[in-house]
Structure 1
């Protein structure tokens, strides 16, 4: 959601006025997502990135995550009609990944659900999941009440809880130390309760980039004491606070695509939702960039199968998109991989973006996060033909190279396969994109997650 001074307009009317979703998104001047409140760097982004590999990192999540709070006696039956993943059983103090699809099986959004009590869950993540769930809750007959807690990109003040993540090989030792040895045994994706600096907190046990981690949260007014304790204890474990630049590269290493384009911009089934969304929502002002160009918005969509969610889909019950997803599962065409960009080609693009040899520069390759749109789709080619789409690029200081996540045809997914990424945005209409020429960057297919399979093992 974004704030403007305009009277609300529905996304549907905005699309009609823009001449369709591709025209709207590829004409938007909104840049890539910027993490609010926290500085770009606390120290330097290279050592901050290396902290979650070599020591310990504190990642700030209090400000950029959208929360949706669901209360009522029928939360699970309600969510079971719109989520693709298994939600029963779902005991208190557990978490699950919420995956949402549209009626034709395309991906809409994902987030994490925290089961705080029998009648209370938090949905935490990018706003697209909360928006879709909120819309469905408002028109539902179930005993469910939904309240949205927007992130600090569009608001300020206080929230119900603060949220930080402790991550890295020293994370467990730090957490045991800061809790005075009273840290309970918390199983993966379970939520534990304990105290830090005398303050009651909860923590989701998970991992990022192949290492154990804890997502610690508690009452907003208790955060100063908790933070001070974490920082003081963290000194002996080499803990670094992670700024916005380093944070932006976490997803690429772990193999999670944070914000694919939600499949809401087409079709009659989604029209009521587009009429509910307004220009105050990110979905209405977001931008689409990159070298892949199509007049059909569906060509930019992805589905939960190719994103790697096949194993969590509960085909044993009905939900929005079930039959279409079953068909996609039986006829999968693409899969998620990591692309390792050729070092020399990337260096040439960087050089030519600043010192062009023929008067027309290459598209600037920003570090550590080269994205220049809300959603990005770069063409991946093999022998002159489309092989897939690359998205969410980054320079990772843990591997000292550019990588990106990509969806490629199954025939191109074998690690080591050589492909070509097209860098730049042809005939861009966006003021945020400088004049440039397209460039080709050689790339090699690698596993996803890249950290666990390549960086952590040292096998390339």
Structure 2
């Protein structure tokens, strides 16, 4: 497919696949502004049963298998714990990350976007280790009952709600540990974590038990001001929390990755995905990121070998960019929206609210004094901050909070029919910390 398209960049920048659409839930249950504010002010119920891909790994040698591809420390890793695993290519570039649940001694779940599951599934099919892998597709691929339902309860009232709905039998669950208890007479497990700076629980249980659990949560949640989160509000969580959800996987260029590219087909998102934005290069490598600059350096186990270790070691010693939040200038955003709606001669690129995504993978050029200073990914209007923000990787010398930069908004010379006619526009942006929720929204400091 890459050769037929004339290269990886032309393949991805020619795809008419639009932004990711969360399956299984409506855009809004009430309105997305109040839904977003609920994980700051009260409590939110976020739906994950339909859009999360799962890979189930079983066998006595799952940890040795994962240790070949994930940069993480795995000793210790006890039953009923979870880890964020990060996978790299041979050149040290990022492929994917996901949450790894250790359910039993020999049973693990890999949960997240499909890219981590796909790469591990491919390698599991050829490993000599005693490991089996079974993919549990999300509803974008197959709308059928799944192994488990999955919900998040987040916000300052999350703990009180959980204690109430469990009849004060909620166990004390440490951060990124997994506890087990009952809701409405049904066995439920929960990963203790947080999202967008708020405390919370990721609940899961048997698929057929979900209705009883949901009804109990909604009934009890009324006294805590709980809001159910629709697809529009859900799409803004990453920008506030500082997590880059879908950087372009570094699989499209190297000889080492060629067998994997040949294994992929149109069933996999990697083959049909789109790449959009104002950052334009003929080199697919210019769109990649690495785990060091994204902020995963502290997770790396340097005391063993894994795919990409040596290249990543060099990147750690010579880091060029770092992750920041960009706060977009209100006047420039308003002018761009106005031009997209009312300027017939020089329209701006349309900015959908709350998330102006226009491709599977977003890459917008960020300039300092007219020169490329970084790339912006995954932008959104935050109803909590009342600002447009995005996560970006910028040069270290441009990463000081308060630094003023320029973001180019649009998609020059686009070949994708999903992009409307427009003129490239400049939007002033200001560097801020990441995660923005913890360091700005929650503290009130700008």
Tell me the TM-score range normalised by the shorter chain.
over 0.9
How far residue 154 of structure 1 moved from its aligned partner, in angstroms, is 1.4
For 1:199 and 1:337, the matched residues in 2 are separated by 42
Q: Deviations over 1:349-406 (max 9, x none)?
A: 00010011x6120000110000100001000001010100001000000011100000
For 2:203 and 2:267, the matched residues in 1 are separated by 30
Q: Which residue of 1 aligns with 2:193?
A: 206
For 1:43 and 1:143, the matched residues in 2 are separated by 48
For 2:346 and 2:437, the matched residues in 1 are separated by 36
Q: Say which SS state the counterpart of residue 368 (structure 1) adopts.
A: coil
Q: In the alignment, which of 118, 131, 146 is matched to residue 159 of structure 1?
A: 146
Q: In the alignment, which of 160, 169, 174 is matched to residue 182 of structure 1?
A: 169
Q: Deviations over 1:265-312 (max 9, x none)?
A: 001010111111112110010000000100000000000000000000
Q: In the alignment, which of 251, 274, 284 is matched to residue 287 of structure 1?
A: 274
How far residue 320 of structure 1 moved from its aligned partner, in angstroms, is 0.2
How far residue 456 of structure 1 moved from its aligned partner, in angstroms, is 0.2
- Please say if residues 92 and 118 of structure 1, whose CA atoms lie closer than 8 Å, have aligned partners that are also in contact: yes
How far residue 438 of structure 1 moved from its aligned partner, in angstroms, is 0.3
For 2:197 and 2:336, the matched residues in 1 are separated by 31
Q: Say which SS state the counterpart of residue 295 (structure 2) adopts.
A: helix
Kindly report which structure 2 residues correspond to 1:327-406, keeping only aligned pairs within 5 A, or say none. 327-356=314-343, 359-406=345-392
- Please say if residues 42 and 243 of structure 1, whose CA atoms lie closer than 8 Å, have aligned partners that are also in contact: yes
Q: Which residue of 2 aligns with 1:438?
A: 424
- Please say if residues 32 and 372 of structure 1, whose CA atoms lie closer than 8 Å, have aligned partners that are also in contact: yes
> What is the Cα-based RMSD across aligned positions, in Å?
0.5
Q: Which residue of 2 aligns with 1:128?
A: 115
Q: Number of paired residues?
A: 446
Q: Which residue of 2 aligns with 1:236?
A: 223
TM-score, with normalisation over the residues of structure 1?
0.97
Kindly report which structure 2 residues correspond to 1:15-414, keeping only aligned pairs within 5 A, or say none. 15-356=2-343, 359-414=345-400
How far residue 37 of structure 1 moved from its aligned partner, in angstroms, is 1.1
For 1:222 and 1:144, the matched residues in 2 are separated by 29
Q: Say which SS state the counterpart of residue 82 (structure 1) adopts.
A: coil
Q: Which residue of 2 aligns with 1:5?
A: none
For 2:423 and 2:143, the matched residues in 1 are separated by 40
For 1:256 and 1:225, the matched residues in 2 are separated by 32
For 2:420 and 2:444, the matched residues in 1 are separated by 38
For 2:26 and 2:83, the matched residues in 1 are separated by 30
For 1:202 and 1:410, the matched residues in 2 are separated by 41
For 1:209 and 1:128, the matched residues in 2 are separated by 23
Q: Deviations over 1:98-145 (max 9, x none)?
A: 100000000000000000000100000000000000011111001000
Unaligned runs of 5+ in 1: 1-13
For 2:267 and 2:255, the matched residues in 1 are separated by 22
Q: Deviations over 1:26-64 (max 9, x none)?
A: 000000000001000000000000000000000000000
TM-score, with normalisation over the residues of structure 2?
1.00
For 1:210 and 1:284, the matched residues in 2 are separated by 34
The list of structure 1 runs, each at least 4 consecutive aligned residues, that deviate by more than 3 angstroms after superposition, is none
For 1:95 and 1:437, the matched residues in 2 are separated by 46
For 1:48 and 1:305, the matched residues in 2 are separated by 33
For 1:162 and 1:237, the matched residues in 2 are separated by 23
Q: Say which SS state the counterpart of residue 83 (structure 2) adopts.
A: strand
For 2:65 and 2:413, the matched residues in 1 are separated by 45
- Please say if residues 76 and 88 of structure 1, whose CA atoms lie closer than 8 Å, have aligned partners that are also in contact: no
How far residue 210 of structure 1 moved from its aligned partner, in angstroms, is 1.4
